[in-house]
């Protein structure tokens, strides 16, 4: 008997509940039965193309039903799917295709000049006529996807995720959010990235419905989809939260009685945005997930509860165990005063980096992923993350969490962005420097400084305030702290 996988769940629902709504996008919808038929036909098409078990199949993210159906078909055939970001630069695309040795690329983009490997329109995999038999599904330990990091801080890495990983990830999400059966969830986040894709898998696990949109800028379209299909959940990034709250002008509060939960991921969520969400959705469970592509959805916090604390990332998810290690990799009992590096193990943890054995060994030991995040675990079992060790400011031996200071700063009227960095100092080690942006021409920095002194412990107060015209961030809102430090002090000094 084959072990449980997301693919097995999908086909079970397509046979047992064929009329249950599975997939929605602005152009239409599919039931589980119709989606199952399209996927089976897609598997037959891949066989005709000569795709064999273990071959890599690249699929460009169209951010609609076509992409998810193509991905499921590729994986159901026994191939390894390689999701490709929309509008990826051709040089990077070539690198990924060469790295994986992809046998074929299915794309919805017409402008690409690339002709190797074979390029086919994604519709040739998803819009086929006729019926097809049930495929023999791959085993749980086989690789399902190779997910490439965005590569903003260096060369992209291909992360191998097995079918067993995907099943554990789905359970982490379902149990972490208290997802009901037949959940209906809006997913506007890129499916070529791990967060949005895994939310789709979790809804397949629960026999639920996925509503796909390409971002959140079309507010009326999103509002109508949530209303018309009775959405019970939303999966958002901090950037998406900010856009929705700003553009909707409060209208999304209409769904306070309809939604079970909102889950947030991909980047840290500021205290300011937390407060806005709590105000807009007082009766909705609000979850912030911690994790990475390598070991996703490993910790979760309902921040619309008494458990919310500065730097707290919540409790380990269903399949995760967290522990803290010293610089030699030895586990020890941590506390707020005695922090170390966070490590995590569990069934959701990646198989490894694709064809990068030494890099895999550097972070994955004994089945556990050793992170670069400074943190500790309190007496209740809650995990606290101060930030990446290189980002945590070490002032006279006191570990200052940048995100905690930034969240406090962002709550002050007129502050539009804030970032804390460490400035090298011979006596103190590092001095905390707070960079900020404001939308006020006559901003009162003295009042801002007084506010900070009232909210932050004396030993953690910024020693310097710097007003900036811009603070570098990635497209999904992640702070590029290293770039900011280089801009301020130069590479040779930091």
The single residue listed with the structure tokens 């794309």 is 107
Per-residue model confidence as pLDDT tens for the chain (494 residues): 358 999 999 999 999 999 999 999 999 999 999 999 999 999 999 999 999 999 999 999 999 999 999 999 999 999 999 999 988 888 889 899 999 999 999 998 764 555 556 899 999 999 988 889 999 999 999 999 999 986 444 567 999 999 999 999 999 999 999 999 999 999 999 999 999 999 999 999 999 999 999 999 999 999 999 999 999 999 999 889 988 988 888 899 999 999 999 999 887 787 778 889 999 999 999 999 999 999 999 999 999 999 998 889 999 999 999 999 999 999 999 998 899 999 999 999 999 999 999 999 999 999 999 999 999 999 999 999 998 888 889 888 888 989 889 989 988 999 999 999 999 988 888 999 999 999 999 999 999 999 999 999 898 999 999 999 999 987 667 788 889 988 998 754 44
Whole-number Å distance between alpha carbons of 492 and 477 = 27
All structural domains of the chain: 6-384 (3.40.50.12780), 398-489 (3.30.300.30)
H-helix or E-strand containing 184? Answer: strand 184-187
37 with 19: CB under 8 angstroms?
no
**Alpha-carbon separation of residue 293 from 162, 315, 331, 333 (angstroms):** 12, 19, 23, 27
Give Cα 239 distance to the centre of its chain: 12
| Alpha-carbon 342 to chain mean position | 18
Q: β-strands 331-332, 340-346: how paired?
A: unpaired
- pTM value is 0.87
Q: At what angle do helices 163-177 and 194-205 cross, to 10 degrees?
A: 80
Tell me the C-alpha distance between 54 and 339, whole Å. Answer: 42
Token reading at 246: 């700003």
């Amino acid at each position: 008997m084959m072990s449980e996988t997301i693919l097995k769940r999908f086909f079970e629902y397509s046979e047992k509940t064929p009329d249950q709504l599975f997939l929605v996008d602005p152009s239409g919808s599919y039931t589980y039965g119709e989606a199952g038929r399209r996927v089976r036909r897609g598997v037959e098409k891949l066989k005709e193309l000569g795709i064999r078990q273990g071959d890599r199949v690249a699929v460009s993210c169209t951010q609609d039903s076509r992409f998810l159906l193509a991905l499921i078909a590729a994986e159901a055939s026994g191939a390894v799917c390689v999701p490709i970001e929309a509008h990826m630069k051709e040089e990077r695309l070539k690198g990924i295709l060469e790295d994986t040795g992809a046998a074929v690329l299915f794309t919805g983009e017409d402008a690409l000049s690339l002709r190797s490997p074979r390029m086919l329109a994604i519709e040739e995999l998803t819009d086929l006529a006729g019926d097809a038999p049930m495929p023999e599904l791959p085993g749980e330990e086989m690789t399902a996807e190779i997910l490439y990091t965005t590569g903003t801080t260096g060369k992209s890495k291909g992360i191998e995720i097995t079918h067993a990983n995907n099943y554990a990830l789905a359970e982490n999400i379902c149990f972490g959010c208290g997802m009901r059966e037949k959940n209906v969830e809006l997913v506007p986040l890129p499916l070529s990235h791990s967060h949005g894709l895994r939310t789709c898998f979790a809804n397949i696990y629960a026999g639920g419905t996925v509503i796909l949109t390409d971002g959140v800028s079309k507010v009326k379209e999103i509002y109508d989809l949530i209303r018309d299909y009775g959405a019970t959940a939303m999966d958002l990034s901090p950037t998406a939260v900010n856009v929705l709250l700003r553009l909707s002008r409060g209208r999304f509060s209409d769904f306070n009685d309809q939604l079970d939960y909102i889950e947030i991921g991909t980047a840290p969520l500021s205290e300011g945005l937390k407060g806005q969400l709590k105000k807009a959705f007082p009766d909705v469970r609000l979850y912030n997930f911690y994790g990475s592509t390598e070991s996703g959805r490993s910790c979760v916090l309902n921040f619309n509860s008494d458990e919310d604390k500065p730097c707290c990332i919540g409790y380990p998810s269903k399949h995760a165990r967290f522990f803290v290690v010293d610089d030699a990799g030895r586990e020890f009992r941590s506390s707020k005063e005695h922090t170390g590096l966070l490590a995590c193990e569990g069934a959701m943890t990646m198989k490894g980096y694709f064809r990068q054995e030494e890099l895999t060994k550097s972070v994955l030991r004994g089945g556990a992923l050793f992170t670069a995040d400074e943190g500790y675990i309190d007496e209740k079992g809650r995990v606290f993350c101060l930030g990446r060790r290189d980002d945590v400011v070490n002032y006279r031996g006191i570990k200052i969490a940048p995100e905690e200071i930034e969240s406090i700063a962002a709550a002050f009227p007129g502050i539009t962005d804030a970032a804390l960095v460490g400035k090298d100092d011979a006596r103190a080690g590092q001095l905390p420097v707070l960079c900020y942006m404001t939308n006020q021409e006559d901003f009162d920095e003295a009042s801002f400084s007084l506010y900070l002194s009232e909210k932050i412990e004396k030993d953690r107060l910024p020693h310097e305030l710097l007003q900036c015209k811009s603070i570098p961030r990635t497209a999904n809102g992640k702070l590029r702290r290293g770039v900011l430090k280089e801009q301020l002090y130069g590479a040779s000094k930091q």
